[in-house]
Chains A and B, each alone.
Chain A
Amino acid sequence: MSVTLRLAWRNLWRHGRRTWLTVGAMVFCNSLLVFLISSQLGSYAMMIDGTLGFLTGHLQVQEQRYNEESKMRYTVPDGIAVAKALRDSTGNPAIAARGSAFALASSEDRSFGIQILGVQPQFESAVSTLPGLIDQGRYLQSSDAAEIVIGTVLARNLKIGVGDEITFLGSGRDDSFAAGIATVVGIINSGITDVDRAIAEIPLNYFQSIFAMEDDVHSIVVKVDDLDKVAPLKKQIQSQLGDSSLTVLDWNQLQPGLGQAIQADMFSSFLTYAVLIVLVAFSVLNTQLMSVLERTREFGVMTALGVRPGQLGRLVLLETAIMSSLGLLLGCVAGGLLTAYLAHTGISLDAMKEALERYNIEGRLYPQLSIISLFGGPLIVFVGGMLAAIYPALRLHTLQPVAAMRAV
């Protein structure tokens, strides 16, 4: 242990209570930051998974204009074959083709305008969570049967159940009249009212024959198991498609609101964190300035004995570094333990259920503990503390040994 280090260590514990209070401020702030940032990242993951998982997927292949104006005639030709080719070439099994149309759905008693999706039953469950959320009956099986699954709210509004028939009227790709009668085989309960009110799925081949789509589809949906794979996969698919009229869109283009909602939330939270960090830095500044001022005589003696102001400055910075490291360590341990515990049990969100449904977050929030969420906040607090010590350390350069030794 060098002399400076030993001096710094002993100086800190000359005022144990003061040191602990300053360390306490850092520990409090650090644990809070670890918990908040972890919960934030956890909630973003839930927002992304929740919003994209139902239907959108991470990537979609569409006709270039379809995302801007979803018109029936902007189609992906021979979509089922394209989807199969993509499954083979990318090795990703979670790729499915879909068609989409608006139609007036009528039961015996009621009619509603809804969006009808044509899906590939054998692949749809790999790209969408909805097939797994069947509440009554079963999901679609055959790819060309006149069957339909609908959301619970839609079923209630139409006053129908499993086994009943739905008539739907709309227009086909060529603006021709399109009509069909399908039997309800299953009812989906996603827990999100807006989804349950709007969802209706029929087999893709049946969809194509009703809406005069021939072999075309509207989108090919791709789901990945890791967000980091989105960008490379997008590039790969794009190059495979070549110069056709088709394009690959990632989730940020498909759901621009999602990324922006996350940005808006990040911005406002970081504002809050910044204030907390500034307050902790003030606490450090106060402590270190006091500890420098009350040692004026001592420092005067030391300079008189030949210690250079720069060395004294380093001593003060070292003291701060030790204190900040303690705060960092204890804060990460306390915050990490608390967060790990909550990541295990989850935080109940029932109190905010309705607000969070908007973001497709449901059930319990599991904070995500990662290197970034564990050390990101505390490291900035550490840097803030060190910055705050610069002024007290610099003051030492103005120290006049003779006057300092006489100071009370």
Chain B
Amino acid sequence: MADHQPAAGILFTLAWRNLWRNHRRTLIMLIAIVIGVWAMILFSSLMAGMVDEMVRGGLRTLPGEVQIHHPDYRDDPSIANSIDAPQGALLERLNNPPVTGWAARIKVPAMISSERANRGIQLLGVDPAQEVSLGFDPTNIVEGRFLEGPDDKGLVIGRKLAERLETRLGKRVVIMSQDPDNNVADRGIRVVGIYQARLQATEELNVYGGLETLQKMLNVDNQVSEIAITGDDFRQVASWWPQIQQATGPELETVPWMELDGYLESMMKMQTSFNVIITVVIFLTLSFGLVNTLVMAVFERVREIGLMMALGMRPGWIMYQVLLESIILLGLGLLLGNLLAVATILPLEDGIDISALAKGLEMAGMGSTLYPSLRLSDMVLSTVVVLVLGLLASLLPAWRASRYNPIQALART
């Protein structure tokens, strides 16, 4: 073992010097690796930013990362499938971390009519303070005010819906729905606020009224349609939602967002496979150049390698040395590529304006600004893929180099 230590140092020096003997070739390859690594990380972070934005937006619409319902509610969202507002153990659980906000709300389909038009909507009976804790931003109110309490007698509707109904602040509209006995429940109610949302579809769909006001109208006492819960970080939900489920009990259905919105969940999955595919495809395109460079480097040194072997260098060391060259090249490329990626992505994290395509992005559930998100995991992924596959690709040229017969190699011109 003792004589291996100095040998390793010498091998490194040899590999390093060999690389720069033909500096043009090495530089071109290095630039190619840097561009490749940069592109891998850039694409991954653009994709991550897009999906993050979609999921966050989607969770704001859901809302919450975990929801509790009557077992039949999701299939038949009627007021008949209501549950009691949280109490006892569940209330205790909801008021402690990791839960950062929750809301018990009525959510039923309803019909809204102005003097001029009518529309099908989703009627939400809410406690405004709870909604805000769940992520409703009161600054989204563009006219009038948000609800002031669960007993507020007013109605807050979306800007687009107001347009569709040809109504405005201060006007009365009629909302119509059903009570638990399937009788029509209706009520004339004044529009006290108009909100704007990220997506037009939300503005047309969601209508907010006071929780207690709507409970009275729909003839339910202290009952709600759903309890929506948030813990702020949607990636951590898997770790805490079972606790909520336990506190809720088996009679009710507790569902995390992954099950509530299949689209979001499949976007997350698509993101992961997209990252792996893009990284591997870019690498494969790179690998031809990498192997080519190594093959050339070995080929033009055949005599030299023969001489080294004749002087007693073991075949394993030759192989080791070629691999070392490849590692140095890849390592440098990775380092510079990562640095370049960080340098280009960080300034973009404030957002890229893509509102020219807003309608198309809305179809995908996205807003009109893209926030690239640089993530350590993407950088690690590209580094691991490039190093592991790069070494695999270098094995053949390295192995061939170590298999030369010294006498024949020395005889080559």
Contacts and interface: CB of A to CB of B under 8 A. Distances in A.
A binds B: yes
A159 B76 CA distance: 9
Contacts of B116: 71, 175
B215 interface: no
Interface of B: 22, 24-25, 28-29, 31-32, 35-36, 39, 43, 46, 75-78, 109-113, 115-121, 163-164, 166, 176-178, 182, 184, 262-263, 265-267, 269-270, 278, 281-282, 284-286, 288-289, 291-293, 295-296, 299-300, 354, 356-365
Interface string A283-294: 101110110011
11 contacts: A25-B288, A28-B288, A111-B178, A260-B360, A275-B39, A282-B28, A282-B289, A293-B22, A294-B300, A354-B263, A358-B365
Given A175-B116, A264-B354, A286-B292, A109 B28 contact: no
Main secondary structure, interface of B, reads helix
A66 interface: no
Contacts of A156: 75-76
Contacts of B117: 71-72, 102, 171
Interface of A: 15, 17-18, 21-22, 24-25, 28-29, 32, 69, 71-72, 102-104, 108-115, 156-157, 159, 170-171, 175, 256-264, 268, 271-272, 275-276, 278-280, 282-283, 285-287, 289-290, 293-294, 351-355, 357-359
Contact of B293 (A115, A157, A286): A286
A263 B286 CA distance: 28
A105 B289 CA distance: 65
Contacts of B25: 286, 289-290
A114 B178 CA distance: 15
Contact of A289 (B28, B77, B300): B28
Contacts of A112: 109, 111, 120
Contact of B266 (A72, A159, A276, A353): A353
B291 to A, nearest CB: 6
Most buried by A among B76, B177, B360: B360
Contacts of B111: 104, 111-113
Nearest to B122: A113
A278 B31 CA distance: 11
B28 A279 contact: no
A155 B52 CA distance: 35
A295 to B, nearest CB: 13
A21 B28 contact: no
A261 B182 contact: no
Contacts of B166: 71
A358 B263 CA distance: 8
A112 B286 CA distance: 57
Most buried by B among A156, A256, A355: A355
Contact of B113 (A28, A29, A171, A283): A171
Contact of A21 (B115, B269, B282, B295): B295
B266 A355 contact: yes
Given A279-B35, A355-B266, A258 B363 contact: yes
B118 A170 contact: yes
B113 A279 contact: no
A357 B289 contact: no
A275 B300 CA distance: 30
Given A28-B284, A114-B120, A275-B35, A257 B360 contact: yes
Contacts of B109: 111-113
B289 A286 contact: yes
A352 B39 contact: no
B368 to A, nearest CB: 11
A15 B265 CA distance: 51
Contact of B282 (A17, A279, A355, A357): A279
A106 to B, nearest CB: 8
B197 to A, nearest CB: 16
B211 to A, nearest CB: 21
Most buried by B among A21, A170, A263, A353: A21
A286 B288 contact: no
Nearest to B278: A272
A21 B39 contact: no
B358 to A, nearest CB: 7
Contacts of B46: 268
B372 to A, nearest CB: 12
B210 to A, nearest CB: 21
A110 B177 CA distance: 9
Nearest to A110: B78
Nearest to B285: A279
A15 B78 CA distance: 75
B362 to A, nearest CB: 6
A242 to B, nearest CB: 30
Contacts of A351: 269
Contacts of A358: 263, 363-365
Contact of A262 (B182, B286, B360): B360
A312 B121 CA distance: 75
Contacts of A279: 32, 35-36, 282, 285-286, 289
B282 A275 contact: yes
A102 B121 CA distance: 11
A32 to B, nearest CB: 7
B28 A286 contact: yes
B293 A111 contact: no
A72 B113 CA distance: 14
B120 A102 contact: yes
Contacts of A357: 263
Contacts of A259: 360
A326 B39 CA distance: 27
Nearest to B182: A109
B46 to A, nearest CB: 8
A88 B178 CA distance: 48
Nearest to A276: B285
A30 to B, nearest CB: 11
Contacts of A28: 284-285, 288
B360 A282 contact: no
A157 B263 contact: no
B118 to A, nearest CB: 5
B360 to A, nearest CB: 3
Contacts of A175: 115-116
A382 B31 CA distance: 20
